[in-house]
A = this chain, B = another copy of it.
């Protein structure tokens, strides 16, 4: 609505190298689609960039191609879960989990990340599947195994995870991710991330015994 985005002042054309321009378009598209959803118009995106609409199609044959690129840029960004933080038993489990989930929260609590994930999932795109698959395959086993060790229970190798255990870890993820939803989707005020993660982890550790009980 308000058109104070692209600087209308510098009316003069500026030529960028193809690489720079492409990068610029992707960067702008991430913010634009995160805000307006993938139904946002290419004309508005162009205007926000202070560039002609036709230029976008010079770099991306179709709008769908641009969206695809946005997905890759945001979701396929190399994120190596810092699981060494969790497995290092020289530290108390609480300390380790807090350190790990603070790192993790830095990724999943971002404005663009949160909104684009919701938009894409609601739109029926299954980019989130691979994200969740990674979480289930890489993070959960480590966390559950450490919980088992912490509570003096058999390791995952000896006894597979129960549904309740998996659900409990889901609950911790949910608690943290939902703070991002509260902030970036519902526009609500939220507590500072670091203290929040600490509280969620402590609450989780104290509460998880209920899930391990059976």
Instruction: Provide the residues of chain B in CB contact with A177, threshold 8 Å.
Output: 178
- A136→B206 CA distance, assembly (Å): 25
Whether A128 and B186, one on each chain, are in contact in the complex, defined by CB atoms closer than 8 angstroms, is yes
A35 to chain B, nearest CB (A): 9
Instruction: Provide the residues of chain B in CB contact with A168, threshold 8 Å.
Output: 199, 203
Give which listed residue, B122, B128, B196, B208, contacts A37 with CB less than 8 A.
B122
Whether A122 and B185, one on each chain, are in contact in the complex, defined by CB atoms closer than 8 angstroms, is yes
* A75 touches B (CB below 8 Å): no
* A191 touches B (CB below 8 Å): yes
* A171 touches B (CB below 8 Å): yes
Write the chain B residue with the least CB distance to A209.
Answer: B206
Interface residues of A in 107-124 (CB under 8 A from B): 115, 118-119, 121-123
A105 to chain B, nearest CB (A): 14
* A164 touches B (CB below 8 Å): yes
Instruction: Provide the residues of chain B in CB contact with A126, threshold 8 Å.
Output: 187
* A175 touches B (CB below 8 Å): yes
Whether A132 and B186, one on each chain, are in contact in the complex, defined by CB atoms closer than 8 angstroms, is yes
* Copies of this chain present: 2
Instruction: Provide the residues of chain B in CB contact with A209, threshold 8 Å.
Output: 206
* A210 touches B (CB below 8 Å): yes
Whether B186 and A200, one on each chain, are in contact in the complex, defined by CB atoms closer than 8 angstroms, is no
Interface size on A, residues (CB 8 A): 42
A178, A199, A203: residue with the most chain B Cβ atoms closer than 10 Å: A203
* A167 touches B (CB below 8 Å): yes
- A207→B203 CA distance, assembly (Å): 4
26 examples of A-B residue contacts, CB within 8 angstroms: A37-B37, A37-B122, A37-B123, A39-B39, A118-B118, A121-B185, A121-B186, A121-B187, A122-B185, A126-B187, A128-B186, A132-B186, A164-B199, A167-B196, A168-B203, A174-B175, A174-B178, A174-B179, A175-B175, A178-B178, A199-B210, A199-B211, A202-B210, A203-B207, A203-B210, A204-B207
Instruction: Provide the residues of chain B in CB contact with A164, threshold 8 Å.
Output: 199
Write the chain B residue with the least CB distance to A131.
Answer: B186
